[in-house]
């Protein structure tokens, strides 16, 4: 490298897939079978107090979600489940069905909007939350182990989902843009929802991309990095940092695949290895509407000591092992 630093090694992560790999395999997607749907709809239509008892008798659903959990943790890092008949269910039943699937993966936690189940749709009073606006979103991950989306209604035009392997982006950068990768492996200031338990500031410092003890992690939080720029004590991003973030987004776009969600489609992403983005869409009154959940999963992946997940667990007195 031109600055004399050692070259950054490439990842050895199974989530380092390329778009062509997805065309050769169907492991990343699953269409619900009639029997699986029968089990899921039974949960959706049961009284909430009966759900724990009923969930014990869902062997096919349990098996399919076990496959999804393995793929998220140690496989490609994402999975798409298709075929939930949302048009035949009221919204309360849809929420029950989605929640039943989510509970088989992890624990739902509070999101940036303050709720555990967020509605992703255009809102005039969006409080600066990108998921409630109509503009494009850059490639990013959310600061929790897994993010899940259920499509209730797609946009008539635009709003296409884009996703890419952060590990693949890392490896492309290592070969084609080593200077940018070197910058991205250094700490960035990242805004937090709550003050850091050690120094009280509403920010922490994390490398955007890293390989720590042989484990790859992406802390791809450009929105939180930009948000931190407004906080006291946070230095202005350097020209090199801004350029590296732009290069990262451009490479992610080249390595990404597009997916047009249909009503009843469900996506799960491992936020530590997979990036997602969205093209702009028109709020034409049809009401593009997704449900979003953040899932915390014990022992999911070793993380940086100052990662928001570990900090939240410390503040709650829980396991900080990440």
Q: 298 pLDDT exceeds 50?
A: yes
List pLDDT tens digits, range 255-267.
999 988 899 999 9
Residue 11 resides in a domain:
no
Residue pair 67/7 in contact (Cβ under 8 Å)? The answer is: no
Q: Please indicate, yes or no, if residue 13 is contained in any of the structural domains.
A: no
Q: Which two tokens stand for residue 262?
A: 């249909």
* Residue the block writes with tokens 């724990």: 52
Residue 314 clears pLDDT 50, i.e. is over it: yes
Mean pLDDT for the chain? 87
User: What local confidence, expressed as pLDDT, does residue 47 receive?
Assistant: 59
Measure CA 146 to chain center: 5
Task: Tell me the per-residue pLDDT of 2-56, one tens digit each, with 9 for 90 and over.
Answer: 444 555 677 889 999 999 999 888 899 999 999 999 999 998 987 555 554 444 4
Please give the structure tokens belonging to residue 168. 């693949």
- pLDDT band (50, 70, 90) for residue 148: very high
Tell me the average pLDDT across 93-97: 95
Q: Collapsing DSSP states into helix, strand and coil, what is residue 7?
A: coil
* Mean pLDDT for the stretch of residues 204-215: 94
Beta bridge mates, 164:
275
The proportion of the chain whose per-residue pLDDT surpasses 90, expressed as a percent, equals 67
| 307 burial type by CB count under 10 A (0-12 exposed, 13-18 middle, 19+ buried) | buried
In this prediction, residue 77 carries a pLDDT of 97
For position 3, what pLDDT does the model report? 47
pLDDT, tens digit, 9 for 90 and up, residues 58-84: 888 999 999 999 999 999 999 999 999
In this prediction, residue 278 carries a pLDDT of 82
Quickly tell me which residue has 């489940």 as its tokens.
Answer: 81
Range of the domain at 45: 19-315
Tell me if 3 is assigned to some domain.
no
The per-residue pLDDT for 280 is 75
Neighbour-count burial for 259-288, b at 16+ CB within 10 Å, e otherwise: bebeebbbbbbbbbbbbbbbeebebeeeeb
d(CA 158, CA 280): 6
Specify the number of domains making up the chain: 1
Q: Distance between CA 111 and CA 116 in Å, rounded?
A: 6
pLDDT on residue 317: 62
Task: Say which residue the tokens 């910058």 belong to.
Answer: 183
Phi (first) and psi of residue 175, to 5 degrees? -90, -45
Are the CB atoms for 180 and 208 separated by under 8 Å? no
- Say if 286 falls within a structural domain: yes
- Give the model's pLDDT for residue 138: 87
Question: Distance between CA atoms of 261 and 290, rounded to whole angstroms?
Answer: 10
* Mean pLDDT across 119-145: 69
Q: Is 155 inside a domain boundary?
A: yes
Contact assessment for residue 218 and residue 209, using Cβ atoms and an 8 Å cutoff: yes
- Local confidence band at 193 (pLDDT 50, 70, 90 cut-offs): confident
What is the pLDDT, as a whole number, of residue 163?
95
What pLDDT does 107 receive? 96
Q: Does the residue 96 lie in any domain? A: yes
* CATH classification at residue 79: 3.60.130.10
* pLDDT band, very low/low/confident/very high, at 205 (cuts 50, 70, 90): very high
pLDDT above 50: residue 276: yes
Mean per-residue pLDDT, 149-161? 82
> What angle is formed at CA 176 by the lines to CA 276 and CA 258, rounded to 5 degrees?
25
């Amino acid at each position: 490298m031109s600055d004399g630093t050692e070259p950054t090694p490439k990842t050895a992560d199974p989530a380092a897939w390329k778009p062509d790999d997805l065309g050769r395999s169907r492991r990343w997607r699953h269409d619900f079978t009639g029997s699986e749907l029968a089990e899921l709809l039974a949960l959706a239509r049961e009284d909430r107090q009966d759900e724990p008892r009923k969930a014990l008798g869902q062997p096919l659903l349990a098996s399919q979600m076990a496959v999804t959990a393995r793929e998220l943790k140690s496989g490609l890092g994402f999975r798409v489940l298709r075929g939930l008949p949302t048009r035949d269910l009221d919204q309360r039943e849809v929420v029950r069905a989605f929640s039943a699937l989510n509970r088989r993966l992890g624990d739902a936690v509070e999101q940036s909007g303050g709720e555990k189940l967020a509605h992703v749709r255009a809102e005039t009073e969006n409080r600066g939350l990108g998921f409630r606006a109509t503009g494009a979103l850059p490639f990013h991950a959310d600061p929790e182990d897994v993010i899940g989306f259920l499509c209730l209604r797609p946009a008539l035009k635009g709003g296409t989902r884009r996703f890419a392997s952060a590990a693949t982006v890392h490896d492309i950068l290592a070969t084609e843009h080593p200077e940018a990768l070197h910058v991205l492996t250094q700490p960035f200031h990242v805004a937090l929802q709550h003050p850091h338990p050690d120094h009280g500031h509403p920010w922490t410092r994390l490398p955007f991309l890293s390989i720590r003890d042989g484990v790859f992690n992406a802390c791809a939080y450009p929105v939180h990095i930009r948000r931190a720029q407004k906080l006291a004590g946070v230095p202005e991003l350097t020209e090199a940092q801004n350029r590296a973030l732009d290069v990262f987004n451009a490479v992610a776009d080249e390595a990404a695949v597009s997916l047009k969600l249909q009503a009843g489609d469900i996506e799960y992403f491992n936020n530590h290895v997979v990036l997602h983005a969205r093209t702009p869409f028109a709020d034409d009154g049809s009401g593009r509407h997704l449900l979003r959940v953040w899932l915390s999963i014990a022992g999911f992946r070793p993380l940086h000591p100052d990662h928001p997940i570990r900090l939240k667990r410390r503040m709650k007195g829980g396991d900080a092992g990440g």
